[in-house]
């Protein structure tokens, strides 16, 4: 590591844990300290909602789309990071991974010769949703997604827990015990609406990590094209047993109908996010959904007010979802 080596912080955590909201807090802190940050945003699908949400932060953001940085995009990662350093000359880099990625292989990627002399891994910060993390760690009770959550915690230098205000005290107590059992070396910090003591967090430094056995690695990412169910669908991407697709809204929608649609989504839809235009006022809204918790807020972003929705889940019925979305149009 050279004297001018740029620190890279990896921000990981499962779908809907609040990574981008936390990232905004860290960016404010770094900028207030007089440093120039840059962000590499990795998305599972073909659109990056979170990149658009960072438009007004005056921070350069680059995307790695339709893949996982720990799998098929490793070569692209090195190229993109080199381009970022040349173009923006940042003092610090934040890499926000897709929620279904394990950060393990990123450690190896950052020590490849083309990167090792210009940057170093400073810390892996894992964000955990208090509502979704499993409390039962017995192998027979865990699915592939829960194993990913666990691996994200095991390789964390700091564990940040969000949405503790939305769970009962006894679950929060049990969750703390589970997280400490998985990783007793990482400090445990609470995050409320993305707020955390950034100075304390950024002082947490990475520690050497052993690479897991091949059987513990997440499955590789593959891509396949879906038949033209509707002209608004895009290519589907698959990671393990998950799929994602993007829907482009063709016009404004009834806000209440759309929120009712989100509330009625089946359990196999694990995450949805994007932007829609309210037919009553013509305003662009950001929306986020995780099972049982749809959220919506007016946003002020560039991009000609594009309205689109990204869905992530298991065995998604695209045709049914699209039909229900089209029914959200104003009568």
State which of 152, 181, 214 marks the end of a domain: 214
Helical packing angle, 169-182 and 144-154, nearest 10° = 70
In a domain, 118, yes or no: yes
User: What pLDDT shows up at residue 80?
Assistant: 84
Contact 276, 253 (CB under 8 A): yes
Q: Both 140 and 249 in a single domain?
A: no
Domain CATH number, residue 239: 3.30.1220.10
Q: Both 197 and 292 in a single domain?
A: no
pLDDT tens digits for 254-270?
999 999 999 999 988 88
In a domain, 1, yes or no: no
More confident: 193 or 129: 129
Q: Both 178 and 278 in a single domain?
A: no
In a domain, 331, yes or no: no
Q: Both 188 and 257 in a single domain?
A: no
Please give the residue range of the domain that contains residue 310: 225-326
Q: Both 123 and 103 in a single domain?
A: yes
Is pLDDT above 90 for 228? no
In a domain, 251, yes or no: yes
Q: Both 133 and 178 in a single domain?
A: yes
List the structure tokens of 191. 């995050």
Is pLDDT above 60 for 112? yes
User: What pLDDT shows up at residue 214?
Assistant: 38
In a domain, 12, yes or no: yes
Name the E strands within the chain.
6-13, 37-42, 61-64, 92-96, 119-129, 158-162, 188-191, 221-224, 236-239, 242-248, 269-277, 284-290, 293-298, 308-313
Confidence band for 102, pLDDT divided at 50, 70 and 90: confident
Contact 254, 330 (CB under 8 A): yes
Q: Both 129 and 237 in a single domain?
A: no
Q: Both 40 and 148 in a single domain?
A: yes
Q: Both 155 and 260 in a single domain?
A: no
In a domain, 220, yes or no: no
What distance in Å separates the CA atoms of residue 178 and residue 180, rounded to the nearest whole number?
A: 6
State which of 214, 239, 267 marks the end of a domain: 214
Q: Both 204 and 237 in a single domain?
A: no
What distance in Å separates the CA atoms of residue 130 and residue 240, rounded to the nearest whole number?
A: 24
User: Domain tally for the chain?
Assistant: 2
In a domain, 304, yes or no: yes
In a domain, 219, yes or no: no
Domain CATH number, residue 134: 3.40.50.300
Instruction: Determine which of 69-73, 138-142, 209-213 has the lowest per-residue pLDDT on average.
Output: 69-73
Please give the backbone phi and psi of residue 206, each rounded to the nearest 5 degrees, phi first.
-70, 155
Q: Both 12 and 151 in a single domain?
A: yes
Q: Both 133 and 161 in a single domain?
A: yes
């Amino acid at each position: 590591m050279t004297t001018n080596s740029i620190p890279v912080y990896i921000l990981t955590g499962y779908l809907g844990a609040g990574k981008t909201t936390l990232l905004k807090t860290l960016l404010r802190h770094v900028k207030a300290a007089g440093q120039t940050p840059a962000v590499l945003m990795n998305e599972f699908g073909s659109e990056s909602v979170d990149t658009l949400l960072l438009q007004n932060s005056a921070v350069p953001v680059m995307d790695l789309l339709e893949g996982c940085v720990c799998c098929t995009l490793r070569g692209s990662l090195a190229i993109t990071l080199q381009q970022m350093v040349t173009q923006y000359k940042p003092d610090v880099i934040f890499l926000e991974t897709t929620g279904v990625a394990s950060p393990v292989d990123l450690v190896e990627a950052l020590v490849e010769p083309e990167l090792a002399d210009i940057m170093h891994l400073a810390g892996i910060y894992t964000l955990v949703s208090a509502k979704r993390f499993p409390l039962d760690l017995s192998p027979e009770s865990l699915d592939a997604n829960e194993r990913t959550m666990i691996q994200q915690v095991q390789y964390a230098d700091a564990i940040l827990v969000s949405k503790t205000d939305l769970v009962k005290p006894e679950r929060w107590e049990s969750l703390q015990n589970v997280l400490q059992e998985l990783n007793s070396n990482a400090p445990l910090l609470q995050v409320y609406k993305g707020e955390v003591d950034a100075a304390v967090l950024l002082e947490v430094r990475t520690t050497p990590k052993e690479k897991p056995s091949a059987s513990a690695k997440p499955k590789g990412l593959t891509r396949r094209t879906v038949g033209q169910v509707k002209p608004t669908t895009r290519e589907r991407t698959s990671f393990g047993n998950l799929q994602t697709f993007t829907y482009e809204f063709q016009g404004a929608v009834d806000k209440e109908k759309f929120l009712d649609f989100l509330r009625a989504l089946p359990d196999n839809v694990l995450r949805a996010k994007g932007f829609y235009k309210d037919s009553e006022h013509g305003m662009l809204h950001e929306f986020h959904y995780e099972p049982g918790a749809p959220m919506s807020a007016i946003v002020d972003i560039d991009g000609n007010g594009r309205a689109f929705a990204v869905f992530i889940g298991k065995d998604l019925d695209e045709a049914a979802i699209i039909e229900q979305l089209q029914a959200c149009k104003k009568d």
